[in-house]
Structure 1
Amino acid sequence: MRRVLAAVVALLVLVLGYGALDVYDVAPGILTRTAAQPPTSKAPSEATGSTTAGTPAEGTSPTTSGAATGSPSPTTVPTVDSAAQPLRPASAGALIPEPTALAAALEVQAADPALGPVPGFVVRDAFTGQVLLQKAPDVARTPASTLKLLTALAVGTTLDPRATLPTTVVQGPSATDIVLVAGGDTMLAKGAGRPAAVEGRAGLADLAAQVATALQAAGTSTVTLRLDTSYARGPRWAPTWVRADIDAGFTGGVSMLGLAGQRAIPYRPAPRDPEAATAAAFVAALKGQGITAELAPEKTWTKPVAEGSTVLGTVESAPVGDILALALDESDNALTEGLARQATVKAGGAATFPAAVAFVTKAVTAKGVDLSGAVIKDTSGLSSGQKISPRALSDVLQLGADGSVPAMQDTVARLPVAGLTGTLAQRFTSAVTHPAAGIARAKTGTLTGTSSVAGTVIDADGRVLSYVVQADQVPASIGTLAARAALDRFVAALATCGCR
């Protein structure tokens, strides 16, 4: 039962501590960052740990432990409202909405003044790609973070989503020299790694234990630590980013090494030098294992390790596919840009922001998406002056919605869920919009004067629809919150419409 399921899940999330920090568009950038648990590699909504969105972890028993005698207590089965509407499962056999009836059903929502004078949108049948409803579909508009869908397509079809990012320590030129080699993981736990987490999957304490074992076997207890930060090394900040956004914590810098819990969130900026913070944490972790480490000067950190160096220890990040899902779930600009840079380098490009833009543009157009009229300045959507048409966004989304590109299909399946996860966690809560809670998924995009959504929803007959709605002329007198509410009403109207 659709609405029953949404209610039960929401209750479980509430009881087990799910929460979200919703930043009400006081500045551009990542506007919603949740303060709960990261998704695991098994499903986008499962979670353990802290600082990211999610639902209860796997492995929780439905029964409670018994008394001293060992006899189990009775299992408590939750009850539901018997009057709740049943959910018709999504099906390719369900009837496609009739375009004229759909237009009539969404006439009020499409003309909502909170979307500005000229919003653009495209609604399609997800299985066939048939356009059911559209308005100004070819007018390029500010995408904000919906631009990340293009990056997800490029990254997902270039990097292996099952691959992990290694952080390695190798022997240096002498017995007392060791080198910490950055491999792209910017979410290393200071302590032990958390196997079920995305943020903090790999832990510096585990790495230090491996290194200490190898060093102590060789009779070494004091070392000099150097970092090798040569992998995908490039500019930390995009030239088109506003410094105030960085200072306010709306994005961190792009790096290939960093610590869990130190990603930028609004009003808590990330460290300016995450590599140095990681090095200091690793020195502390080695000390806990009985190894005294002195950090080499930072000017030596760009020197690559010698090929064939002896490996003293390695820890692995969560799979790339899970990291990408987390980046989109939380709309993390720096995490998205970091993945784009790694994919660019793998494809033979330079480790720069312009090269990443060129890489994403080429990868997206190679899949048949027409980017005519598009202006792309970064791969996260944070820069001002960017333009993409609703049709182009819809075409990218459709590659996942219809399953024609498996990597994009996985991305779409793991987008934030209305009323439950990520940047949609605290939306779709009103009586009008709640019917879409637990049913709609979307990548959100918000900048000053701009509010957009792009995702999928199941209508009343069980037909899956894809949708893109861009409102980039929202008057200041109306504001972002009103625009977001109007977008939610648009999506909820899709969810409740059979429209024939």
Structure 2
Amino acid sequence: MKRAVRRSVVIGSAVAVLVGYAALDAADLAPGILTTRPLPPPPPTATPGTRTLPVVPQPTPSTSVGMPLGSLAEDGAAPSPAALRERLASVLGLPALSLASLVVRDGQTGTVLLDERGAEPQVPASTTKLLSAAAIGQVFGPNDVLTTKVVGGSSAGSIILVAGGDSLLAPDQGNPASVDGHAGLGDLAAQVADALRRSGTTKVTVSVDLSYAPGPLLAPTWSASFRPDGITGAVAMLGRADQRAVPGRPGPADPVAGTVDAFLAQLRKHGITASRASVAHSLAPLDARVLGSVDSAPVLDQLGLALTESDNALIEILARQAAFRSGAQTSFGDVGTWVVKRVAALGLDIQGVALSDASGLSRENRVTALLLTDLLAKGYDGRHAALRLAIEGMPIAGLTGTLEDRYLSGTAHAAAGRVRAKTGTLTGANALAGSVVDDDGRLLVFAGLVPKAGMADARAALDGFVTALASCGCRA
């Protein structure tokens, strides 16, 4: 009975991996139907908030795979380790993978089917975010939000903008249907202006309270070029959605200053004469009157966005808050150490694992491929809501996030819509960790950490590795 329940949970969890192909099939861009029998849903592990991620765009012919997937396989249909290795032989011989750590597990049982240097600590790059997501999800519940508020100051005509961890504020009105820009500074200003007018106040000075989850803006182990190049934004507990950093378009050096400027402008639009206080930072009085507040999208939706788009600053912001709420210190290194401890609390082997940040930008980070696959396998067993939500945020091959432009042509095209994985890219360190449903309908979990190879060669080798898994089956 226990085995049957486990099978039902895993099959239901695998539906998240199949969402990419389901979109293709539903849009009549791939023939056939996804499965020949209904799949039981997993037992509920949490009551989710209103989900807005992952956002899967309408598929195009370029992302349509050639054949429909079959039914999900039963317990007895696990691939044979020997047959799997035989199928992967040509890929494993690629020069780019000569020093790589490669692990494949059966997603249904957790059994290791392939282990090539899986216990060797490697630079994980952005696959670090999977560990951070597991830690963040242990602190924040599915309905938890981040509140930005304004309170009255200690002197007449002074008000304080209190940072609450939302770095995705809209500069004007918020959009309740969106994760970034969910809460708006314009909406906050409207509330504050109304409260001020009721008390007869039309002129104020504004300071900001940054006492929540304080810490440095940039990590000492990061390259000095990362922020100017848009690889990451500054890590602050108050920021705007329209100032998010993307490669080639950097965010501001001081996100808080830009957010305060936008708030001042919104107050003026609502008839309040507003200026910066002579002392920019202050602590809100404990008994301060709340003049207005706005709530972010659920934190776990923000986490999904961070994973899908590999947003380095956002995952650091969320991890720092989670560590702060747990009573830990909030330097980048302290948060990394806290993440590792939280992963260990899940009963996973952290031998050789060390983190200097939560995003994976630090070259001092070390993670094993065995740990990544163990973490992913736990996410699919249906008993860990936070890990399930983290998996939902991973990009889908050929459709979303950092996998949107991969698996679109050549032999790798066969895996489009069937792979859900977190990418990782640093110079000389490339990674891919996630899951795929093979041709026999079996869910496989994998991780590949590739050191000392060029990005193009490493990426092609990893994509070839995953494509071989997708087309395998490999039963004895």
TM over 0.5: yes
1:417 to 379, 396, 399: 396
Q: 1:123 to 1:347 in 2, by over 3 A?
A: same
Aligned residue for 1:137, secondary structure, equals coil
- For residue 55 of structure 1, what is the amino acid of its counterpart? P
Aligned pairs for 1:418-497 within 5 A: 418-474=397-453, 479-497=454-472
Give the whole-Å Cα distance in 1 for the aligned partners of 2:108 and 2:216: 41
Kindly indicate whether the alpha-carbon contact (under 8 Å) linking 2:303 and 2:393 is maintained by their aligned counterparts in 1.
no
Kindly indicate whether the alpha-carbon contact (under 8 Å) linking 2:127 and 2:360 is maintained by their aligned counterparts in 1.
yes
Q: Which moved more, 1:197-206 or 1:230-239?
A: 230-239
- For residue 486 of structure 1, what is the amino acid of its counterpart? A
Give the whole-Å Cα distance in 2 for the aligned partners of 1:243 and 1:403: 41
Aligned twin of 1:125: 106
1:42 equivalent to 2:42? Answer no
Q: CA deviation at 1:344?
A: 0.6
2:200 to 192, 215, 219: 219
2:294 to 305, 315, 318: 315
Q: CA deviation at 1:305?
A: 0.6
Aligned pairs for 1:326-475 within 5 A: 326-474=305-453
Q: 1:43 to 1:300 in 2, by over 3 A?
A: closer
Aligned twin of 1:105: 87
Q: CA deviation at 1:236?
A: 1.1
- For residue 109 of structure 1, what is the amino acid of its counterpart? V
Kindly indicate whether the alpha-carbon contact (under 8 Å) linking 1:124 and 1:465 is maintained by their aligned counterparts in 2.
yes
Give the whole-Å Cα distance in 2 for the aligned partners of 1:91 and 1:290: 64
Q: CA deviation at 1:193?
A: 0.2
Q: Deviations over 1:429-475 (max 9, x none)?
A: 1220111111110011111112110001111121111000111121x
Aligned twin of 1:259: 240
- For residue 347 of structure 1, what is the amino acid of its counterpart? S
Kindly indicate whether the alpha-carbon contact (under 8 Å) linking 1:3 and 1:86 is maintained by their aligned counterparts in 2.
no
Q: 1:3 to 1:155 in 2, by over 3 A?
A: closer
- For residue 154 of structure 1, what is the amino acid of its counterpart? A
Kindly indicate whether the alpha-carbon contact (under 8 Å) linking 1:94 and 1:463 is maintained by their aligned counterparts in 2.
no
Give the whole-Å Cα distance in 2 for the aligned partners of 1:329 and 1:338: 16
Kindly indicate whether the alpha-carbon contact (under 8 Å) linking 1:98 and 1:499 is maintained by their aligned counterparts in 2.
yes
Aligned twin of 1:55: 57
1:200 to 181, 206, 215: 181
Q: CA deviation at 1:11?
A: 9.7
> Where in structure 1 do 4 or more consecutive aligned residues deviate above 3 Å?
1-12, 89-94
Give the whole-Å Cα distance in 1 for the aligned partners of 2:114 and 2:421: 18
Figure out how many residues of one structure are paired with residues of the other and give that number. Answer: 437
Q: CA deviation at 1:284?
A: 0.5
Aligned twin of 1:296: 277
Q: 1:363 to 1:203 in 2, by over 3 A?
A: same
CA RMSD of aligned residues (A): 2.4
Give the whole-Å Cα distance in 2 for the aligned partners of 1:488 and 1:83: 15
Give the whole-Å Cα distance in 1 for the aligned partners of 2:413 and 2:462: 13
TM-score (norm 2): 0.87
Aligned residue for 1:432, secondary structure, equals helix
Give the whole-Å Cα distance in 1 for the aligned partners of 2:190 and 2:214: 27
Q: CA deviation at 1:114?
A: 3.0
Aligned residue for 1:243, secondary structure, equals coil
Unaligned runs of 5+ in 1: 13-39, 47-53, 57-77
Q: Which moved more, 1:190-199 or 1:175-184?
A: 175-184
Give the whole-Å Cα distance in 1 for the aligned partners of 2:390 and 2:76: 24
Kindly indicate whether the alpha-carbon contact (under 8 Å) linking 1:401 and 1:466 is maintained by their aligned counterparts in 2.
no
- For residue 465 of structure 1, what is the amino acid of its counterpart? L
Kindly indicate whether the alpha-carbon contact (under 8 Å) linking 1:121 and 1:467 is maintained by their aligned counterparts in 2.
yes
Q: 1:88 to 1:146 in 2, by over 3 A?
A: same
Kindly indicate whether the alpha-carbon contact (under 8 Å) linking 1:428 and 1:434 is maintained by their aligned counterparts in 2.
yes
Give the whole-Å Cα distance in 2 for the aligned partners of 1:164 and 1:485: 39
- For residue 373 of structure 1, what is the amino acid of its counterpart? G
Kindly indicate whether the alpha-carbon contact (under 8 Å) linking 2:267 and 2:273 is maintained by their aligned counterparts in 1.
yes
Aligned residue for 2:188, secondary structure, equals helix
- For residue 329 of structure 1, what is the amino acid of its counterpart? T
Q: CA deviation at 1:150?
A: 0.8
Kindly indicate whether the alpha-carbon contact (under 8 Å) linking 2:65 and 2:415 is maintained by their aligned counterparts in 1.
no
Unaligned runs of 5+ in 2: 1-17, 30-48
Give the whole-Å Cα distance in 2 for the aligned partners of 1:273 and 1:2: 39
Aligned twin of 1:60: none
- For residue 430 of structure 1, what is the amino acid of its counterpart? S
Query: What percentage of aligned pairs have identical amino acids?
Result: 46
Q: CA deviation at 1:7?
A: 4.2
- For residue 285 of structure 1, what is the amino acid of its counterpart? Q
Aligned pairs for 1:160-199 within 5 A: 160-199=141-180
